[in-house]
Amino acid sequence: MYKSLSLIMLVGLVMFTGCATTSIPMDRALDIPQDRILAKNLIESNSNSDVEVTFIRDQGMIGSGCYINIFYNDRMIFKLEMSEIVTVYIPEGEHILGMRFGDKGLCQAPDHFEGMVTVRKTRKNLYRIQTDNEGIIWIKPTGHIK
């Protein structure tokens, strides 16, 4: 009985601490496979107003084995696995991106998260996609991922 209770407490402790995702160095991130880029028109610049934007998904336990579907202008544009990176081209300015776990098994979640990105030609546009301990997806600008 004591061993069972100790095991349950240990599992609970692990679940509530240190489970949020962590950044991955860009040189260790994997390129997203082409079949999961659903908006092929965004992988090349189509106009002088387009800006290069790179998204990198964290590594870790929360959401592992699940895609994070990314939406732009209410359209799913790509599906990221853990530790993957993708570069797209969108017009300069502010954009709201939607994010949701999805597509397979237990990963199907009704929650849809949104985040603001501001892209500028005058700077590097690198965004980190992370998941916190509560399963909330965040998109955050980052200048450098070590």
Residue 6 predicted with pLDDT over 70: no
Looking at per-residue confidence, does 64 or 79 come out higher? Answer: 79
Question: Mean pLDDT, to the nearest integer, of 9-24?
Answer: 59
Question: Mean pLDDT, to the nearest integer, of 123-129?
Answer: 93
Tell me the two tokens of residue 41. Answer: 């028109």
Query: Which of 38-42, 99-103, 128-132 has the lowest average pLDDT?
Result: 99-103
Residue 7 predicted with pLDDT over 50: no
Per domain, the residue ranges of the chain are: 21-141
Question: Mean pLDDT, to the nearest integer, of 56-76?
Answer: 87
Average pLDDT score, the chain: 83
Q: Which of 116, 146, 59 is nearest to 68 (CA)?
A: 59
Q: φ, ψ for residue 27 (rounded to 5)?
A: -75, -10
Residue 24 predicted with pLDDT over 90: no
At residue 65 the predicted structure's pLDDT band, cuts being 50, 70 and 90, is confident
How confident is the model at residue 1, as a pLDDT? 56
Q: What is the CATH number of domain 21-141?
A: 2.60.40
Question: What is the DSSP code string of 42-60?
Answer: GSS--STTEEEEEEEE-BS
Q: Name the 3-class secondary structure at 78.
A: strand
Q: What is the pTM of this model?
A: 0.81
Residue 16 predicted with pLDDT over 60: no
